[in-house]
Amino acid sequence: MVGQRKWNRRTAAFVFLLPAVLGLIAFQLLPMISSIFISFSDWDLLSKWTQIHFIGWTNYVEVFSNEKSYTSIKNVFIFLIGYMPVITLLGIMFAVLLNRNIRAIKLYRAAIFVPVITSWVAVSIVWRWLLNGQSGLINYALSKIGIEGPIWLQDDHWAMVAIIAVTIWKDIGFVSIILLAGLQDISEDYYEAANLDGASAWSKLIKITIPLLSPTLFFIITISLINSFQVFDQVLIMTNGGPAGATSTIVEQVYRNAFQFNKMGFAAAQSWVLFVIIFSVTMVMQWLQRRWVVYER
């Protein structure tokens, strides 16, 4: 009877899991495997599978030799340099502020999280209007204090700055709330002991808060890095990759090559190069965490 019950449970589990497993195989695993083969071909998406011509490593060589493709990779790292330090520092600052016991604090926490749950399409359209060089509200406000604002989204020096700023504005709520949860998980006993020793607020921040918050910081930095490599929506809607490719990113190039230029093989190669970059960065982060992440015991 016991063996029969185990068999019935396994059968029931198999029956309930089967639809999800089949969907995973059909819509994720098989397309991923197929994309590997496609990346070694010059398939144009419109031809039959039987007309695929394998060309070896040509697509992968072109990923780094093609000017637009190389620029898109470079732009992603430029985005990272501008985005990561600011989102991390602002996240810590807002988390500390939101951790205070003040009136209507729950309202402030909800307000900062609203952009996170707002569609990137809606956000990008609104910010495209706000950053309009001629009739935008941002330049109008700057003109009131005697500053002539640039043509944000049409200037190759300011377009990426605008993309970074809008992305920070949208993501800061997520980062702050996650860091807030990490702050609230730190025991008050550490701060009480520090107060007895006469530690300053700065010492408590550096010696207690940051080290004990490091696991949460590690999570935030890793997630933000992965998301940064996949920047797409705001670029496509706000600048369309311009001006002159100044805001073009890898995912945006994958989209264009696959569905506009019908260069599916080249797009698949770009996708796998992106995967390797993200995987490598993630592994490096996993290795570095041993040196600075402190896990409370």
In this structure, what CATH number is given to the domain that contains residue 205? 1.10.3720.10
Asked whether residue 58 is domain-assigned, the answer is: yes
DSSP the chain: -HHHHHHHHHHHHHHHHHHHHHHHIIIIIHHHHHHHHHTTB---SSS-GGG--B-TTHHHHHHHHSHHHHHHHHHHHHHHHHHHHHHHHHHHHHHHHHTS--TTHHHHHHHHHGGGGS-HHHHHHHHHHHT-TTT-HHHHHHHTTT-----GGG-TTTHHHHHHHHHHHHHHHHHHHHHHHHHHTS-HHHHHHHHHTT--HHHHIIIIIHHHHHHHHHHHHHHHHHHHTT--HHHHHHTTT-STTTT--HHHHHHHHHHTS--HHHHHHHHHHHHHHHHHHHHHHHHHHHHH-----
Q: Are 124 and 113 in contact (CB under 8 A)?
A: no
Range of the domain at 5: 1-33
Pair 119, 255 in one domain = yes
Pair 93, 201 in one domain = yes
Q: What is the structure's pLDDT at 3?
A: 54
41: left (phi over 0), alpha (psi -120 to 50) or beta: beta
Pair 21, 88 in one domain = no
Structure tokens at 92: 């810590």
Pair 199, 267 in one domain = yes
Q: What is the structure's pLDDT at 113?
A: 92
Pair 157, 258 in one domain = yes
Asked whether residue 24 is domain-assigned, the answer is: yes
Pair 267, 151 in one domain = yes
Q: What is the structure's pLDDT at 7?
A: 63
Pair 159, 232 in one domain = yes
Pair 194, 93 in one domain = yes
Asked whether residue 274 is domain-assigned, the answer is: yes
Q: What is the structure's pLDDT at 192?
A: 86
Q: What is the structure's pLDDT at 13?
A: 81
Give ∠ CA 104-203-183 in degrees, rounded to 5.
40
Pair 193, 99 in one domain = yes
> Domain tally for the chain?
2
**C-alpha distances out from residue 238 to 8, 127, 128, 152, 275, Å:** 55, 8, 6, 10, 25
Q: What is the structure's pLDDT at 12?
A: 82
Give pLDDT tens digits along the chain (297 positions).
545 565 677 888 888 888 889 999 988 899 889 889 999 998 887 777 667 888 889 999 999 888 988 999 999 999 999 999 999 999 999 998 998 888 888 899 999 999 999 999 999 999 999 998 888 899 999 898 988 888 999 988 899 999 999 999 999 999 999 999 999 888 888 888 888 888 888 888 888 888 888 889 999 999 999 999 999 999 999 999 988 889 999 999 999 998 888 899 999 999 999 999 999 999 998 898 888 787 765
Q: What is the structure's pLDDT at 224?
A: 92
Asked whether residue 297 is domain-assigned, the answer is: no
Measuring CA to CA, which residue among 91, 250, 229, 249 is closest to residue 168? 91
Pair 7, 105 in one domain = no
Asked whether residue 51 is domain-assigned, the answer is: yes
Pair 20, 138 in one domain = no
| Backbone phi, psi, residue 242, to 5° | -95, -170
Asked whether residue 283 is domain-assigned, the answer is: yes
Pair 65, 147 in one domain = yes
Give ∠ CA 32-55-277 in degrees, rounded to 5.
45
Q: What is the structure's pLDDT at 101?
A: 84
